Structure 1
Amino acid sequence: MENGSATWLRSFVPRPDAERRIVCLAHGGGGATGFRPWAQALPGTEVIAVQYPGREDRVADAFPPDLAAMAALIADELAPLLDRPYALFGHSMGATVAHEVAHALRDRGRPEPLRLFASGREAPHDEEGGKVHLMDDDGLAEELRRLGGTDAEVLRVPELRAMILAYVREDYRLIETYRAPYRPPLTCPVSVFLGAADPDLDPARASRWAESTTGPTDLRVFPGDHFYLVPHRAETLDAVAAALG
């Protein structure tokens, strides 16, 4: 869990005496530092953020061939940290990756998470793929503007635009080529979060995460769009803390 570029996990505020850990996985185009403000906000919980390749301190690192391979690599690095209970929180693409990580850990004989938080994403069995990763740079940049998660000013700087679009394209490739394999569902509780004005997800579709587990599920709709958890961070963290109990 060092800050070396070869590793997947970041702990901005180590809490060796914490009762539990929560492992946070960002949206496509996002990085681990997006969860830095969470580091001291959850009582009794150490926050671990996953750093995808191609960005921040992993700018030179290669991408895995597919999403399942990425989840397996994350699970391998996460396994030694399961000396205490853990939860998984994934937003957008990160929700799908978190679901795959839970399965990868279970396949290794490790415990399932205390709870899986699936934010801003349809259930894995509803993934329909897409062709955004095949668009030219202008089309890819327009998709980022549509979702609202990237500063438009940053995309006007040629060097930054090229770097950002390179790893965003790879993220979209991973999620758009992913198809969930058939396997027994998880047994852990699943909390589903979404923004009321998310352009790509509504409560009816989000509620289909219930089919991903035999455990209980609950649905929470927050004010805001796809990236509701940025302006409504405090409300999101309160909901996470309450669910962790």
Structure 2
Amino acid sequence: MNVGAHRIAPSANVSPDGWLRRYPATAGVRRRLLVLPHAGGSAGFFHAWGTAFDSGTEVLVARYPGRHDRLGDPCITTMEELADRVSEAILPFHDVPLSLFGHSMGASLAHEVALRLGRRHGKHPAALHVSSRRPPHRLTPRALHEQGDEALIAEMRRLGGTAEAVLRDPDLREIVLPAIRADFTIVGTYGPRAADPVGCPVYAYIGDEDPGASVEDMSAWSDVASGGFQLDVLPGGHFYLVDQHESLVRSVLARLHSADDGSRRP
């Protein structure tokens, strides 16, 4: 299957409400993938995903407030509000099968969005893809958001994925730290909860050297899977998805195509 890493796509655009960066399909939309970034992350981190799939796949990436061109928008500090806002933003995009992919904090967010879409709107996703994050019933939150800036920076360095130049530069740190602290407040206050099924297949991904979650942890996502479960273990740490970009995209794309064959719910 051609991953489509070099396809030429129209320029990305932003949804009217500002919550989604949209990478249009080039040959008619047959399916959509919503990508939910990690704590401290932004839509820009997943820019390469916008043209990484085939011509029938439209990619949507969540734009959290308080960063980049949403720098002036107040940060959100609870999972409940963030999941509510993302769920509302994605409602107009259910005319074709919609799958969710969340990395780290984004995996918890993807699970919450999937639950809201099913319970409130009767629109189950075609599939839930979760990366580098323990499932809801195995979470052990840490109160890093209650500590000083240096503790947050140390955690960002431990996990990787943030340019060292950003963490070292005092001016850049002043810009990015409010959003990082807001995201770690979400993570730190989102405690263990029931393993509520999402009404669709679940696919889990993890690096074999991830310091924040284990293969056993990721296997427990099967407890929320209603339509089958698979786990991929790839080489790397918490941000394995950078070095393993092509392998990960190939796996996700294959599962997006399988969703076309009838796994989508109303």
Which of the five TM-score ranges fits, normalised by the shorter chain?
A: over 0.9
Please state whether the residue corresponding to 2:205 is helix, strand or coil. strand
Q: Does 1:216 align with 2:228?
A: yes
SS in 1 for 2:227: coil
CA contact (8 A) 1:6 1:61 kept: no
Task: Report the AA paired with residue 239 of structure 2.
Answer: F
Letter in 1 for 2:34: V
Whether 2:112 is the aligned partner of 1:100: answer yes
Aligned to 1:7: 18
Distance in 2 (CA, whole Å) between partners of 1:65 and 1:173 is 6
CA distance in 1 between counterparts of 2:179 and 2:16 reads 15
Query: Structure 1 residue 89 and structure 2 residue 101: aligned?
Result: yes
2:191 is equivalent to residue 190 of structure 1: no
Alignment-derived partner of residue 165 in structure 1: 177
Counterpart-to-counterpart distance in 2, 1:36 and 1:13: 13
Compute the displacement of 1:14 (Å).
5.1
Does 2:168 match 1:156? Answer: yes
Closer, same or farther: CA 102–60 of 1 in aligned 2, 3 Å: same
Match of 1:144 in 2: 156
Residue 91 of structure 2 corresponds to residue 79 of structure 1: yes
Query: How far 1:6 moved relative to its partner?
Result: 5.1
TM-score by length of 2: 0.87
Unmatched tracts of structure 1, length 5 or more = none
Q: Indicate if the aligned counterparts of 2:36 and 2:62 stay in contact, CA closer than 8 A.
A: yes
In the TM superposition, what is the alpha-carbon distance from 1:4 to its structure 2 partner? Answer: 7.2
Distance 1:16 1:182, change over 3 A: farther
**Match for residue 134 of structure 1 among 146, 152, 155:** 146
Structure 2 residue 81 is the aligned partner of structure 1 residue 34: no
Partner of 2:63: 51
Report deviation, 1:104.
1.0
Listed one character per residue, the Cα deviations across residues 58-96 of structure 1 (whole Å, up to 9, x for unaligned) are 111112351111111111111011111100000000000
Mean Cα displacement is larger for which, 160-169 or 188-197?
160-169
Aligned-partner Cα distance in 1 for 2:115–2:202: 14
Determine the C-alpha separation between the residues in 2 that align with 1:18 and 1:62. Answer: 33
Equivalent residue letter for 1:170: A
Deviation at 1:217, TM superposition (A): 0.6
- Determine the C-alpha separation between the residues in 2 that align with 1:105 and 1:99: 10
Q: 1:106 and 1:88 mapped to 2: Cα distance?
A: 13
Identity %: 38
Matching of residue 175 in structure 1 with residue 194 in structure 2: no
Q: Mean Cα displacement is larger for which, 2-11 or 88-97?
A: 2-11
TM-score, length of structure 1 as denominator length = 0.94
Task: State the 1:2 CA deviation.
Answer: 5.6
**Matched AA of 2:33:** I
Counterpart check, 1:21 vs 2:32: yes
Secondary structure, in 3 states, of the residue corresponding to 1:88?
Answer: strand
Task: Specify the alignment match of 1:112 in structure 2.
Answer: 124
Is 1:12–1:36's contact at 8 Å kept on the other side of the alignment? Answer: no
Q: Which moved more, 1:102-111 or 1:70-79?
A: 102-111
Q: Spell out, residue by residue over 1:165-213, the C-alpha distance to the aligned partner (whole angstroms, 9 max, x if none).
A: 2110100001110136547522200000000110111111110001112
1:236 corresponds to 2:248: yes
